[in-house]
């Protein structure tokens, strides 16, 4: 059976922004509930800058990028050290894609509200001091990695929230594995991040991934008795031609190809920012002929 399949892959695999905030809150509460296992609660792992005699913490000059969500009242742990946790937020200040709202201005308030709840009297971490530090990754593997190093050198974070861009997640996740810092993200959908032994041992991805998307497409092919060579896909690829790396759509297509039996599908590319109706129609007719000829 021959079929031409046209799927807006950017919409199909885009994380639901409606679920982002409750997921962040849930994970934050879960992490704090396990506070005894957080590296930063151990004096040996607290990093530079702790005042070991007074139980107070000197303020760091982070160019107004760091805030403390609870006035520290000098609460001591059993060893006489202040109870301190540092969250490092790595997100872009501006969205890299028009439909993406996972930016500092939307995520930071959620984390600040959650930390306020758990550090209030009667909360899971009453008496703890939580510092939130953040950097603008610019969705750049260069600036994102520099931001992670900057925060690490000033005071070792206990957890990274973000990044969300694959090319930023890759290096920072590898550093996090060496530093022993967990990294939680709603990005990182590409299959490579499933290989935990390749340096992603502390990475936790909140959303589904392209491997699961490929498995879904394989089941659709089996259900409708489509052959791998009869399927055709259109996807946005212009970023690759500009030297910006593989697009989300390209990585999703690769997962589909692997799931349904190798590079047997027919595909064509377009620039979604400038393509017109006539361009889509021309591409559809072209890949339709390729698919039906197999």
pLDDT digits (tens, 9 = 90+) for 237-263: 655 555 566 777 778 888 888 888 765
Whether 81 and 142 share a structural domain: yes
The CATH number assigned to the domain holding 117 equals: 3.40.50.2300
Q: Could you list the residue range(s) of the whole structural domain that residue 288 is in?
A: 9-13+210-292
- This prediction has a pTM of 0.65
In a domain? residue 154: yes
Indicate the number of domains in the chain: 2
Contact 244, 168 (CB under 8 A): no
In which band, very low, low, confident or very high, does the pLDDT at 286 lie, cut at 50, 70 and 90? Answer: confident
Percentage with pLDDT > 70 across the chain: 62
Contact 79, 43 (CB under 8 A): yes
In a domain? residue 1: no
Among 28-42, 94-108, 231-245, 261-275, which range has the highest average pLDDT? 94-108
pLDDT digits (tens, 9 = 90+) for 8-26: 444 444 444 444 444 445 4
Whether 178 and 74 share a structural domain: yes
* Domain termination residue (choose one: 168, 188, 205): 205
In which band, very low, low, confident or very high, does the pLDDT at 185 lie, cut at 50, 70 and 90? Answer: very high
In a domain? residue 217: yes
Contact 107, 24 (CB under 8 A): yes
In which band, very low, low, confident or very high, does the pLDDT at 264 lie, cut at 50, 70 and 90? Answer: low
In a domain? residue 121: yes
* Domain termination residue (choose one: 144, 172, 205): 205
Whether 144 and 227 share a structural domain: no
Out of 131-140, 175-184, 195-204, 266-275, least confident range: 266-275
* Domain termination residue (choose one: 186, 205, 224): 205
Whether 92 and 118 share a structural domain: yes
pLDDT digits (tens, 9 = 90+) for 75-117: 444 443 558 899 999 999 988 776 678 889 999 999 999 999 9
Average confidence (pLDDT) over 266-281: 78
In a domain? residue 24: no
Distance CA 210, CA 253 (A): 9
Whether 113 and 239 share a structural domain: no
β-bridge pairing 183-185 and 84-91: unpaired
Whether 153 and 138 share a structural domain: yes
Distance CA 269, CA 275 (A): 10
In a domain? residue 23: no
In a domain? residue 21: no
């Amino acid at each position: 059976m021959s079929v031409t399949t046209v799927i807006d892959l950017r919409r199909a695999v885009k994380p639901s922004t409606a679920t982002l905030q409750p997921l962040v809150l849930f994970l934050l509460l879960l992490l704090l509930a396990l506070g005894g296992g957080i590296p930063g609660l151990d004096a040996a792992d607290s990093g530079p800058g702790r005042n070991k005699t007074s139980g107070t913490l000197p303020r760091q000059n982070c160019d107004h990028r760091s805030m403390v969500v609870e006035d520290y009242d000098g609460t001591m742990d059993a060893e006489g050290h202040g109870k301190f946790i540092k969250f490092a937020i790595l997100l872009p200040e501006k969205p890299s894609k028009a439909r993406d709202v996972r930016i500092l201005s939307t995520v930071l308030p959620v984390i600040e509200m959650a930390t306020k709840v758990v550090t209030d009297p009667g909360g899971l971490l009453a008496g703890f001091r939580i510092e939130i530090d953040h950097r603008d990754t610019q969705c750049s593997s260069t600036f994102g990695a520099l931001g992670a190093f900057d925060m690490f050198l000033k005071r070792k974070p206990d957890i990274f929230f973000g990044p969300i861009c694959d090319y930023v997640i890759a290096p920072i996740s590898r550093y996090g594995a060496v530093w022993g810092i967990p990294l939680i993200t709603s990005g990182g959908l590409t299959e490579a991040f499933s290989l935990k032994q390749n340096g992603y041992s502390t990475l936790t991805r909140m959303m589904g991934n392209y491997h699961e998307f490929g498995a879904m497409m394989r089941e659709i092919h089996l259900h409708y008795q489509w052959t791998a060579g009869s399927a055709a896909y259109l996807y946005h690829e212009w970023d690759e031609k500009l030297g910006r790396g593989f697009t989300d759509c390209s990585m999703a297509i690769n997962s589909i190809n692997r799931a349904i039996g190798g590079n047997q599908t027919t595909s064509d590319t377009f620039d979604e920012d400038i393509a017109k109706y006539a361009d889509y129609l021309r591409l559809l007719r072209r890949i339709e002929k390729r698919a039906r000829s197999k």
